[in-house]
Amino acid sequence: MIPAEHPCFSAHAHFRYGRIHLPVAPKCNIRCRYCDRRYDCANESRPGVTSAVLSPEAALNCVERALHRDDRLRVVGVAGPGEPLANPATLETLRMVHSRFPALLLCLSTNGLALADRLPELLDCGVSTLTVTVNTRSAACAGHIYRAVAGGTDAYAMSTFLAAQQEGVAKAAEAGLTVKINTVVIPGINEAEIESLAHWAATAGASIMNLMPLIPQADLRDMAPPSQDLLDTLRARAGTHLPQFTHCKQCRADAVGVPGEAGCSGCF
């Protein structure tokens, strides 16, 4: 079931309720060809960007201050700037937030590599919603999207990663978490897979899908992002299998506020 007050899962909530992303996770266990975390300015709104990496204690203080500023805050999430499950501070932070503010929804964004192994800990921390970025189910295609996975660059490493993602999504859904699948649409690389990804995700137990346009940077800086017409077409096809979330702002790792409000890309 889609949480009615989660602004990154519900289109209605997107304009009514707030979320805060706590940037406590700098390390990453994969290298995406479209990811560049070297730069930050107040006008940048994209995943992987943060003005600072916080300790769990500092993150807890940020949640308390955010609640005092705006009582519409409903969700506390960890979305980077690296891979949350590759950083021990993620689980420590989530436990602290859940203990101090048990009414808040806890959310996590992950590439899924370690999801199946860490799922019991996530459940113990009180996490109820999960976003998993799945861009392909093909090892050959993965080689065009990822430079390395857990240090490996060959087809075996890619296949192992994709299998881990799929296992993690299925186990998380079976455990009762609400799972959203994020997919970066990369024209000429994975656009032909989008509908089959949606079909797989629905079968695995995901509740919603979010197709995000490529932000050209890093190794893919010379590629054009998908047009709005292409996104609309792919969403329509994928939507025959799984509901589509179409309001995503591709937020920073330190985003805070109501996403649907003008100017709220958010940062501390």
Please say if the pLDDT value at position 247 is more than 90: no
* Residue predicted with more confidence, 1 or 140: 140
The Cα 182–Cα 70 span in angstroms is 28
Both tokens assigned to 214: 């490529």
CATH of the domain at 162: 3.20.20.70
The residue segments making up the domain with residue 34 are: 13-257
In a domain, 4, yes or no: no
Mean pLDDT of the chain: 91
In a domain, 7, yes or no: no
For 163-188, the pLDDT digits (tens) are 999 999 999 999 999 999 999 999 99
In a domain, 37, yes or no: yes
pLDDT recorded at residue 43: 52
For 71-109, the pLDDT digits (tens) are 999 999 999 999 999 999 999 999 999 999 999 999 999
For 7-63, the pLDDT digits (tens) are 888 888 888 999 999 999 999 999 999 998 665 545 556 777 788 899 999 999 999
Both tokens assigned to 72: 């519409």
In a domain, 5, yes or no: no
Domain count, the chain: 1
**Three-class SS state of 60:** helix
In a domain, 51, yes or no: yes
In a domain, 264, yes or no: no
